[in-house]
Every structure is written in structure tokens, then in C-alpha cells.
Structure 1
């Protein structure tokens, strides 16, 4: 299991720390956990939902995200995960394209489990269809972990790194996990 300290885009904001961990499970399974430390209780948590519904615009509130890129390819997937236990997967052909709003939903990644925990969030995903359709091995892919945290201090943007002048989770340079 690989873990990453996610950094707030606003470097002055040190009140909340966030760690993401990635674990490959078997041939096509992916487990990701997010551990949040909020000693001042700044976080604003959404109400829990039952049944893990697919919903758009989750990034407008507290939302953890996983970006899946493929070496040498422009297309990628964006997975949005809410502490409400709602989720969604979007497909892009290249950087932020198509520009539809909401983005085009992808149905080649399945949710096995998504739950809010006392430490943050845990998700298990099935990438079988995505990997088989594109003839991918784990070594072909790279991941980015990000989060939008809605706090009493305003929205805070966390990522593995921020190499753009603005918070830009779609910047593949910041997707650091290699299998």
C-alpha cells in the first residue's frame, strides 16, 4: 500500500491534514482510503445517504477524487466520492474535454464499496471493464488523489502536488502514483 500526504493549495492552511492510500487488489480491484485529521473541527460533512447513489456535481461540497490516467494516452477517468456515500465516474477524451457540464458519466468502473469512516473515507472499485476495454495492465496506469474540503474556513483544495498557478486537479503532472 502506497500512501501520500495531500497538500492544501493554500499553503498557509495547515489546520487539516489529509493522507491518501492506494492499494491494488487482485487483477482489477482498487482500494483507496483517505485519512483526515481535523483537530479544530473545521470540516463540514454532508448528510449520509443510503445505497451509494450516483450523483453529479459532488465537487461543489466535500468530495474526494481519484484520477486515473494511462501512459501515452490522452483519455482519463475522474472518480468523485462524497462522504455522503454518493459517487460518480466521469470520462474525458483529453484535458477537460469534452467540456459538458456535468461531464460525461463513465460506466466502465464499478463501485464495490464506499463508506465514510471515523477517519475519513474508504472506497473499493472494480476496474475490470475499464482495463479490459483498453487492454491495460496496472503498469500502464497512474493515479492522482485529490479532495475538495468544505470547511468553516472556506473550500480547501488538496492534491498530491499543485504545479499549476490555480488549483487544477486535471493536471496530469500532479498524478504521482505509479503501479
Structure 2
């Protein structure tokens, strides 16, 4: 299991996030997000049943996973809401197509999504994605990020920020490879 202390785009002492990722050989990515929110300022949103797919989850507290493949422009964005909703989008290259919301991706499946006392855990099956591109887990790299909404403002966390603005689509900031 690899873990990362996510970096806030605008530093804050009031919030911190540690993310962990693991992928056994079966093509299931397991994620965990642990938040430190001593002032209890995170807005979590209302819970929904049945893990529906919903667009615009990034407008509220949302945990994100970006899945790319070495030497291929295409990538997947996965949004995981502590409400229980989720969504997955397909991009052909950096932020393209430019439609909002982006085209829905059907090559991954949500196995599990749970809000916990300290954050969120999820399991995502990427076997169809791997089969479609004819690649193995060793060819996959990940970006892990989060939008944390508080009453004051949204906070943007990622593995690193190398752009002048918070930009989770920047592949230079996707640091985990299996």
C-alpha cells in the first residue's frame, strides 16, 4: 500500500488529508482518504442511497482519482462523493473534450464506496479499462486529489501542484505507478 500526504493548493493548518492506494493483482484499486479537520469545518453533504452516478460532484466535497496509462493520452477521472454518489469521465487528452460535464466513462465499475468517521474508502474495478487498452496494472499511473468544501471556501488537495492554478488534470502531478 502506498500512502501520500496530499498537498493543499493554498496552504492551510486547519485541514490535512492522507490518501492511500493499493491494487492487488485482480485489477481492483482500493483507496482510502483520512482527513484531519480539528475545527469540524468540512461540509459533507447529504447521504444518498444506492451509489448513483451524478455529475458535478466536484462542486462539493469530493475525492478524485485520475487514471492514466504510460504513453497514451486518454485518461479517466473518477469522482467519489462522501454522499455515496460517484461518477467517472473519459478524456481523450488534457481536458478534452471540453464539454461540461465531460463524457461518461463506462470502462470502470464502482465496487464499494463508504464514508467513514475519518473520511472515505472506495474500491474501483478497472479490468474493463485494462482490457480495452490491452495493458497491465504496471502500465497505469494515478493522480489522487480532493476538493474539500468548507463554509469559508473550497480547498484543493493533490499529490502535488505544479501549475499556477489548482489543476488535477495535469499528468505531471500524478505520482503513483503500480
The interval holding the TM-score normalised by the smaller chain is over 0.9
Name the CA distance, whole Å, in 1 between partners of 2:57 and 2:129.
22
Name the CA distance, whole Å, in 2 between partners of 1:44 and 1:129.
34
- Answer yes or no: is 1:5 the counterpart of 2:8: no
Question: Which residue does the alignment assign to 1:67?
Answer: 66
For 1:136-155, list aligned pairs within 5 A: 136-155=135-154
**Number of residue pairs aligned between Structure 1 and Structure 2:** 178
Question: Which residue does the alignment assign to 2:51?
Answer: 52
* Displacement of 1:151: 0.8
Q: Deviations over 1:37-82 (max 9, x none)?
A: 1001110111111100000000000000000011101000000000
Secondary structure class of the residue paired with 1:83: coil
Task: Spell out structure 1 runs of 4+ moving beyond 3 A.
Answer: none
Question: Which residue does the alignment assign to 2:170?
Answer: 171
Unaligned 5+ segments in structure 2 are none
Question: Which residue does the alignment assign to 1:80?
Answer: 79
TM-score w.r.t. the length of structure 2 is 0.98
Q: Deviations over 1:76-104 (max 9, x none)?
A: 00000000010000000000000111000
TM-score w.r.t. the length of structure 1 is 0.98
Name the CA distance, whole Å, in 2 between partners of 1:14 and 1:105.
36
Question: Which residue does the alignment assign to 1:18?
Answer: 17
Question: Which residue does the alignment assign to 1:121?
Answer: 120
* Displacement of 1:139: 1.0
